[in-house]
Amino acid sequence: MNFTFGADAFSWIFFGLVTVMWVLVGIFTGKYGEANHLDHMPRFWLFYSLTYVSLAALCFAKSFLSMYLCFEFMTLLSMPLVAHEERPEAIAAAKKYLFYSIFGASLALIGLFFAGRYTDGVFAAGGTLDMSLASGNEKLLLVVVFLTVVGFGAKAGLYPLHSWLPTAHPEAPGPASAVLSGVITKAGVLCIIRVIYFVFGADFIRGTWVQYTLMAMAMLTIFMGSLMAYNQRHFKRRLAYSTVSQVSYILLGVFALNPLALTGSMLHIVYHAIIKNTLFLVAASVIFSTKHLHYVEDLEGLGRRMPWTFGCFTIASLGLVGVPPFAGFLSKWYLATGILSEKIPVISWMAPAVLLASALMTAAYLLSISIKAFFPRKDLVLDTNEFGKPVTESPLQMVLPMVILTAFVVVLGIAAQPWYNFFSVIASGVF
């Protein structure tokens, strides 16, 4: 049981992503908190900073034990961000987040025990499973791998441990929702990648019931999350269900155990973090400017009062749908082609069909907001908020991070080849 830290390509990718997102959301939070939560902002900044430290440590964890402990600290330190506003609903949401996270971590703890017995516990590309010790215990270890992945999958919103997301996001402050959806869910993805590719090894589970079951769960989560988002009226809850769906795109590629699909997953990790942070900052800006609008039908006409905000929302939405040339298209393309190349019975053709159906529903539940925001029905443009003050664009300190993130959506979509080449080399190195 080694408690060690070190750096590899995955460490730097996740650390860079966490840092950039944390800084941009932090810039946004300065102005947002000034007007909304002034009395409690020192406490918010404390836990915001400590959560970043725990995430950074998680990125550089080099053993199962150090990863597990950092993962648990991240949960405990991020929970106060959900409960920050101290309303009964926020406290209940924080408790639910904590319960689901601890239950998932308890399942992952089983993996820690067995990793200490059958591996040396230190991460290495291809896995460190000692087959001489595992011989005769393969069936038991497959169960252990399955439970461990499902446990860490709770943080990533994998069905059936997904329901904390649509509960916690609407109650958390806007910036907290952004990092929860765009960054913290990726912590679960990182842990799953470590377990599969760096502890037990992809070859151990390839072609087993574990791989097929996990892929089926990911596809179910993708379709269910999109469907629930489509039927959801609450703005932030709609975005939360979208996260449930989109993070399972990443997991589906991870579970495919294919270099091309894993490359698509890594691209989508970056793209989804950028896009979903943008969308949640838009939701926070709407609440900031209007003081009371939380439902999608109330956003009609706001695009004319907040053109920069809803312009960023529209471009980010196109990226999440997967419309070329925006970021999101290539990641989904490589996911689909990688899974098709595996020629897994039923799953190989069903997965691309699920991805296509999800993309169509994503277009319906996101772009419909943009259309109504910029092209409202007559006399439905909101002029003042509930305090009688004019509804205007958010301050520059809040608009600037959204514009920067939106620029990433465009640039990383157009200039995607270097990123693909980079991630492709890394993905191939773990097989």
Taking the C-alpha atoms of residue 251 and residue 158, their distance in angstroms, rounded to an integer, is: 8
Decide if 308 contacts 403 (C-beta within 8 A): yes
Predicted confidence (pLDDT) per residue in 226-269, tens digit: 999 888 888 888 898 998 999 999 999 999 999 999 999 999 99
Structure confidence at residue 4 (pLDDT): 87
Residue 96 tokens read as 């639910």
Other Cβ atoms closer than 10 A to 213: 14
Taking only the tens place, the pLDDT of each residue in 346-404 is: 888 888 899 899 999 999 999 988 888 888 765 555 554 444 456 777 788 888 999 99
What string of DSSP letters covers 225-256? HHHHHHT--BHHHHHHHHHHHHHHHHHHHHHT
SS (H, E, C) 60-89: CECEHHHHHHHHHHHHHHHHHHHCCCCCHH
pLDDT value of residue 18: 93
Q: Say how far apart CA 104 and CA 229 lie, in whole Å.
A: 24
CA dihedral 269, 219, 253, 247 (to 10 degrees): 10
**pLDDT for position 133:** 79
Amino acid at the residue 88: P
Q: How far apart are CA 69 and CA 75, in angstroms?
A: 10
| Residue 263 · residue 330 · CB < 8 Å | no
What local confidence, expressed as pLDDT, does residue 378 receive? 59
Q: How many CB atoms lie within 10 A of CB 143?
A: 13
Residues in Cβ contact with 272 at an 8 Å cutoff, skipping those fewer than 6 apart:
182, 246, 247, 249, 250, 320, 328
Length of the chain: 431
**pTM, two decimal places:** 0.90
Q: Which residues contact 257 (CB under 8 A, 6 or more apart)?
A: 196, 202, 205, 206, 211, 342, 431
Other CB atoms within a 10 A radius of the CB of residue 18 amount to 24
User: Any idea where the domains of the chain sit in the sequence?
Assistant: 9-428
Dist CA 84 CA 336 (whole Å):
40
pLDDT of residue 300: 79
Low-confidence ranges of the chain (pLDDT < 50): 384-388
The amino acid that residue 292 corresponds to is: H
Residues facing 63 on adjacent strands: 122
The two most distant CA atoms of the chain are separated, in Å, by: 74
